[in-house]
Structure 1
């Protein structure tokens, strides 16, 4: 039986907690502008979607990335992850009244080391 190194477990736990704090900050950011958070950490066939937000008739699927700088956070999102998030978003929309015709957008929400939030709307376009 293998055990994770104690420092690795602590680092993973710290990263998970900072990820939760980042998601909470981003959820507050959307809520302040009158958009409702419908789901947190929704699991679909492609994997987890951090936040799903309603913006009028549109659903916004939000990937949250936290790092010491916005640039470092941006670098954490890769094409394969975007594709997985898109698959899960399609499954979520399949449960909506308009199904695949549901208007949607994919945002990347960045949280830097000072806790500042920056949202890149339509972050997956052209990627």
Structure 2
């Protein structure tokens, strides 16, 4: 898949995840939040809990699919970026936090159900 198509698919997957989470009552705090430590796809508020959401899209299930792509190294990068976010956005620093993963797989994912793994890993 060409880079442009891959990027467009990733953006579409992230938008689908965002709309899904908003339909579940979560509020968007930040999208594609970048810092020197990495990027946070979505930062949401679920009640009083700050939720750092990693959106993963894979066309094929090979190599374990979308959920398996959030390995220990990726988790560590997300934790560091989340810590930096909380330092920069002090109003959220004392709220409970969790890390979720939303996984989408296959072609035409906009109509495909997504997997929402709450508390995907501990910080």
**TM beyond 0.5:** yes
How many residue pairs match? The answer is 116
- The reply on whether 1:39 has 2:30 as its aligned counterpart is yes
Runs of 4+ in 1 over 6 A off after TM superposition: none
- Distance (whole Å) between structure 2 residues aligned to residue 34 and residue 120 of structure 1: 16
CA RMSD of aligned residues (A): 1.9
1:77 corresponds to: 70
TM-score normalised by the chain length of structure 1: 0.82
Residue pair 2:17, 2:102 contacting (<8 A) in 1 also: yes
For 1:17-32, what aligned pairs fall within 5 Å after superposition? 17-32=8-23
Gaps of 5+ in 1: 1-9
Gaps of 5+ in 2: none
For 1:103-122, what aligned pairs fall within 5 Å after superposition? 103-113=96-106, 114=109, 115-122=112-119
Q: 1:56 aligns with which of 23, 47, 53?
A: 47
Point out the structure with max Rg over C-alpha. Answer: 1
> By percentage of residues, which structure has more strand?
2
TM-score normalised by the chain length of structure 2: 0.84
1:69 to partner: Cα distance: 5.7
Residue pair 2:98, 2:122 contacting (<8 A) in 1 also: no
